[in-house]
Amino acid sequence: MPVYEGEVLQGMLSLDISYDELLNTHGKLAGELGIVDTSHLSLPDNAMRQLDLELEGVKGSHTLFYQFDLAKETRNFFIFERYSLAVVIFIYVFSVIVLFFINTRVEHDYFKELAAKDPMTGLLNRRGLKAFLKTVQHNDYVALAVFDIDNFKAINDNYGHDVGDVVISHVADQITINIRHSDVAARIGGEEFVIYMSGNDKALLQKGMSRVQQAIVATSADAVENGFTISGGVEIVTKSEERGFDTLFKAADEKLYQAKTTGKDKLVF
Catalytic annotation, residues: 191
Q: Residue 225: which residues within 8 A CB-CB, separation 6 or more?
A: 159
- Rounded CA separation 56/59 (Å): 8
What residues contact residue 148 under an 8 Å CB cut-off, 6+ apart? Answer: 191, 192, 193, 230, 231, 232, 256, 260
Closest CA to 118 of 180, 59, 190, 25: 190
Amino acid at 51: L
- Whether the CA torsion 78, 80, 83, 85 is positive or negative: it is negative
Separation between Cα atoms, residue 241 and residue 131, nearest integer Å: 19
Cβ atoms of 173 and 218 closer than 8 Å: no
d(CA 116, CA 119): 9
Please, are residues 209 and 230 in contact by the beta-carbon 8 Å criterion? Answer: no
